[in-house]
Amino acid sequence: MSAKFFVLLFLCTLLSQAQAIKGRVFDALTKEPLQDVSVYYDGTTTGVITNPEGYFEIKKINGIAPLIISYTGYSPKLFEQEAIPNNPFDVYLIESREKLMDVVIEADPWSRERKEKQFKKEFLGKTIASQECTILNLEKVELKFSPSNQTLYAWCDEPILIENKHLGYKVSFNLQDFEVLYTTTEMGLIMKKQSFFSGTSFFNPFEKTRKKYIKNRKNTYLGSSMHYLRALRDKKIAEEKFRTFHKGFETMPYRYYNISNEENGLTKISMLVDKLTIVYNSLSDQSMIIKNPGIDHFYIDSTGLFIPYGAIMYSGVFGLEGVGTMLPSDYKVD
């Protein structure tokens, strides 16, 4: 073996090690290693599980997706990209306790069937894709309707497992918050006023990738909020067939945005008005991007994810999106 080849091999080995994150996961109380713990990047298809010694090794990825370490019966750990410790590092998981509701203990007038119906509609979304989704462990999801504040709450002590036969993914979703606020009309009807849920997710593609899944993924992506944010980041709004309206009038795509690239690979976006209406391909499908008044700007990474969470909100077609139409952030159009 020549000296030059040896040096090249050594450098390649160092580069490979530098691009991997390594660690071990333990029970915080017993200090015993935990096997089969899920280690993944939120909202992606990149993940591994720990071995019998609690060891894991996962490649680094571009973007801002945080690293999640999750195990049934334990509170998950989240590491932002810039806060991931140096290799190797130890993680200690704490056993989770049953969630305490922040609502007054009161009689729940809604049946389990009614609550499940509302939960699936808001959690999975109201699209064609959501109709082909099945929650495999729905019985594990705790649901409570509070009549005093007309709010439906949901929580789960283990990841919610979704089989998406429309897009060809098995999704594991760690639900952190779920609330649907209702209002009563003058006619006595209860109608949804607003809904909110958050959590982390991991996508596991079906073993067999059918042409149906490839086609449905592309159709779901086109015109989605992910598609729009990527177009905004790349300054290709018009090229990607999006149109922008403000107060009912069409405007230049970037008139109400300030866009600048940051040294860390993020794109900084400042929205100069409170609301913009976004149309993809046709006036019949409208969405609205609503600026959070408490946040001046946000950042978009190379995959179309944005931070801080809650900087912008959606309504219209974007607002119909739920877990049923979620694509992994590392999805690329074929």
Domain with 50 in it: what CATH number? 2.60.40.1120
Question: Is residue 230 located within the same domain as residue 306?
Answer: yes
Give the angle 52-53-55 at the CA atoms, nearest 5°: 105
* Residue 278 is assigned to a structural domain of this protein: yes
pLDDT at position 185: 73
Same domain, 190 and 269: no
Residue 133 shares a structural domain with residue 70: no
In a domain, 218, yes or no: no
**How many separate domains does the chain show?**
3
Joined together, the tokens standing for residue 213 give 């899944």
CB contact set of 29 (below 8 Å; sequence gap of 6+):
94, 95
Mean pLDDT by 10 residues, the chain (334 residues): 45 52 95 96 95 95 92 90 88 76 72 95 89 96 92 92 97 93 75 84 93 95 94 95 94 95 87 95 83 92 89 86 92 86
Decide if 69 is inside a domain: yes
Inside any domain, residue 32: yes
Residue 146: inside a domain: yes
Whether 53 and 18 share a structural domain: yes
Q: Where in the sequence is the domain holding 46, given as residue range(s)?
A: 14-93
222 class by beta-carbon count within 10 Å (0-12 exposed, 13-18 middle, 19+ buried)? middle
Residue 163 lies in a domain: yes
Q: Which of 65, 93, 121 is the endpoint of a domain?
A: 93
Residues 74 and 134 in one domain: no
In a 13 Å sphere around the CA of 181, the CA atoms on its Cβ side amount to: 5
Structural contact between residues 306 and 275, judged by C-beta atoms closer than 8 angstroms: no
284: left (phi over 0), alpha (psi -120 to 50) or beta: alpha
Cβ atoms of 182 and 152 within 8 Å: the answer is yes
pLDDT of residue 97: 64
Same domain, 89 and 119: no
Type of residue found at 123: F
Q: Domain for residue 333, yes or no?
A: no
Residue 282: inside a domain: yes
Q: Using CB atoms within 10 A of its CB, is residue 214 exposed (0-12), middle (13-18) or buried (19+)? A: middle
